[in-house]
Structure 1
Amino acid sequence: MSYDLRGKVVLITGAAGGIGSATARELYRNGSSLVLTDTSQIAVDTLAQEFNSQNVLPLVFDVTDAEAAKEVVRRAVERFGRLDVAFANAGISWRGVPATLRTCDEAEFRRIIEVDLFGVWNTMRAALPEIVRNRGQVLVTSSIYAYLNGMANAPYAASKAAVESLIRSLRTELGATGASASVLYPGWTETAIAKVAFGGNAIATEMNRTALPAFLRRTIPPEQVAQGVVRGLQKRQPRIAVPARWAPISMMRGLFNMFADRLLTRNTHLHRLIGQLEEEVVRTRDCD
């Protein structure tokens, strides 16, 4: 099952972000060529300057555009002659104040689903012919939110649970082809998305403290996730949990979720925080 990354061509979406850029560097150190994509050409061009120009292709790419996904794959094959790994990593959450399902902006809710779920689908679908041809791999960034309660972050959590299910199906469907598919579950990582629950928003930060024990709130650097990604790809692991302390919770999620949801639903302090968050969302919207 060992998979040598040397000489492999890897497509990364969301490459300019924390996990994306850290993974690009780690893959490059392991001998891979890189197709770096993000919504800003300047951002991927800047990242690409860290690597030998012969081994990198920076492209602007909106993952919600299915035709653009096909064009990215076409250009990757045109440049390198092949595509071996597609890392569907692009993702977004709330732009401003975290919102509940009662108070969130409907258009923003749909946008998050479009990027975090259909963006993965577009990337995966476009890359699959090459992945199968080269007996390569599809890797998607899910999250611990695939099995944690998604309060105040529901569209993100729903998308992460959905892409987990999507890739479980794909891995089985690829079973006879020699290609494979895997799910990455990063814990709290020092990225812009996680920042909101670690001081970026006072109420969300307090909700995080209320809902989770201290040992599960420790953040990790994107470089640690990147190292886990490379190890996982080399072993074709179906599930890559980083840090490892989240793996047992994922394995026991049936019982964990039942008891956790019950406790959270009865937590009066959490109820007050949710009410305060909803008031903040309404105030912010009125000011706009």
Structure 2
Amino acid sequence: MQRQNSKLHAWWLAARPRTLPAALAPVIVGSALAWSDGLFALLPALAAMMGALLIQIGANYANDLFDYQKGVDNAHRLGPLRVTQAGLLSEGEMMRGTGVVFALASLCGVYLIFVAGWPVAVIGLASILAALAYTGGPRPYGYSGWGEVFVFLFFGLAAVAGSYYVQARQINLAALAASFPVGFLVVNILVVNNLRDIPTDRASGKHTLAARFGEAWARREYLVILVLAYLSTGILALSGLFTPWVFLSWGSLPVAVRLARAVWRDSGRALNASLAGSGQLELLFCLLFSIGLIMGKIF
């Protein structure tokens, strides 16, 4: 029983629960937008949320495995425990677990394809391939500085607009626009991760933007992206695309300021707290943004 519990705990650690808001928050925004348009559908919304969560977990499992195989995860790692490198799960177990999680995500996709048609298949397949190619394959894009772009596309644009589409059966400008502040905040989770890992990434040949341009550049990147997230929200509200109620999302600004100071000040393992905090900020921002979308419809 103790061994079984330790295995379950290892799988939980490998899922990297602090990163999971990156999967849930965009679906919340897309669903709130669908509700504000009178098109909310509970079962597709739940399936989209479960599918997104499973793809994120599958990506984390794949990263745990591939980073170990490529020598990126080693005894000098500064981030949270990686279970393959620590020997808590074997390479074979992690490979099978990754396959199972992506298979479960595909089941959610099958239902959503039945509900909303073939575009869901394209989004779902592209998301799974992107999750695997981040650190897997002969030329992983996460190792060559393209991580921020793909995270923005899949955890911002695809996640928000896709979750709206499976309920509304259409895409509009508002769904695309809402993905921008969400995508920016998801990207900052990756930026903190890469800032923390600069020494080990450089040593292993992982050329993230942070590893290429250095700590000062990565800290400025975090601040600029943070400003873009809040500025884009203000622009969307003032443009009339959304009501001023979406300014509720600015209620998360004190958290953002505290995180910006920590990212500017801390380094190494101390940034693990900012990594978790960046995920929490995204979730808080998206909840407040979603409440603003709903309140704008009511009032």
TM range (shorter): 0.3 to 0.5
Kindly indicate whether structure 1 or structure 2 has the higher relative contact order, using CA contacts under 8 Å at least 6 residues apart. 2
Scaled by the length of structure 1, the TM-score of the pair is 0.34
